[in-house]
Amino acid sequence: MSEIREVVIIGSGPAGYTAALYTARAQLRPLLFGSSIFVGGSLTTTTEVENFPGFPEGVDGPVLMENMRAQAEKFGAEMIDDDIVEVDLTGDIKLLTDSSGTVHRAKTVIIATGSGYRKLGLPNEDELSGRGVSWCATCDGFFFRDRDIVVVGGGDTAMEEATFLTRFARSVTVVHRRSTLRASQVMQNRAFADDKISFAFDSEIAEIKDQDGRLAAVVLRDVLTGATRDLDVTGLFIAIGHAPRTELFKGQLDLDEQGYLAVDAPSTRTNLPGVFAAGDVVDHTYRQAITAAASGCQAALDAERHLAALN
């Protein structure tokens, strides 16, 4: 039987590493499971991060994550690059099974499994991430000053991204598969009123073209006629939704109507005592590295207080 840990953390993004740093410094010897194939979380899929405080020259996403990990390890956090594939969070002692079948036991669990962006499913989409293709206008809009760009999607997020991007871009074309938008009327009105925004309705991205490893154009396909046309753009923002990584917890933890873990905000407490959640797996509003790190800190402090109350 494995020892009973004070804290086990699931997830190796800014939320998980920050929770590890704080719980390690509180002498709780955290054990963190950081995935078998995606160690370091979402920021490892980008290049320059310019909005994480403390780096006036910007910082490479993977480097930032390696530094966060090293900082937590320095204080004794233990990291295992493996997935948790099964959990039983209902008892006083939480049971977490890794991919080798080993069951780990813990008094508290911090869930920081993040959320994935929904993708178009085109072959070179991932390859061009950070090289013209983006899922986050707040993160990357600044790199597209005076450029022509495309935003894909018809919901509130797509309208918000498109409107925000007009601060930088020369033109923004919103590409949407249907003839009407799903976004709220107020968001639609704002987008329609913006001179820089035009719309390609009943259209989808059929192909992403690159030149020298960077996005150079997209091919639009009319979904009604099948006709295609090239659009020369150097930015493609995909805003077709998010998929919080909550599958593992369904049936045990409460989810909100959008599938994110529900917490007793402003705390990070879930519906089960001793189980806390932080970062993008909870947050469908801000979704930034700094907000994920901040809530990882909150989860660590909540777990620490929970443990103190047990003793």
Which tokens in the block code for residue 198? 């035009």
Q: How far is CA 192 from CA 135, 162, 203, in A?
A: 22, 11, 17
3-state SS class at 199: strand
- Judged by CB under 6 A, the residue of 157, 287, 297, 304 near ligand FAD is 287
Q: Does residue 113 touch ligand FAD according to CB under 6 A?
A: yes
* Nearest approach, Cβ of residue 16 and ligand FAD (Å): 5
Say whether 297 is catalytic.
no
Q: Does residue 163 touch ligand FAD according to CB under 6 A?
A: no
Q: Does residue 45 touch ligand FAD according to CB under 6 A?
A: yes
Which tokens in the block code for residue 7? 């804290």
Q: Is 126 exposed, middle or buried (0-12, 13-18, 19+ CB in 10 A)?
A: exposed
Residue 132 to residue 86: CA distance in whole angstroms: 37
- Judged by CB under 6 A, the residue of 20, 110, 112, 122 near ligand FAD is 112
Amino acid, single-letter form, for residue 267:
S
Judged by beta carbon, residue 200 or residue 296, the one nearer ligand FAD is: 296
Amino acid, single-letter form, for residue 201:
F
Q: Does residue 157 touch ligand FAD according to CB under 6 A?
A: no
- Judged by CB under 6 A, the residue of 63, 136, 240, 272 near ligand FAD is 136
Residue 297 to residue 5: CA distance in whole angstroms: 19
Judged by beta carbon, residue 42 or residue 163, the one nearer ligand FAD is: 42
Which tokens in the block code for residue 37? 């194939």
Q: Does residue 143 touch ligand FAD according to CB under 6 A?
A: no
Binding site for ligand FAD (CB under 6 A): 10-16, 33-35, 38, 41-43, 45-46, 49, 51-52, 83-84, 112-114, 117, 129-130, 135-136, 139, 245, 248, 279-281, 287-290, 292
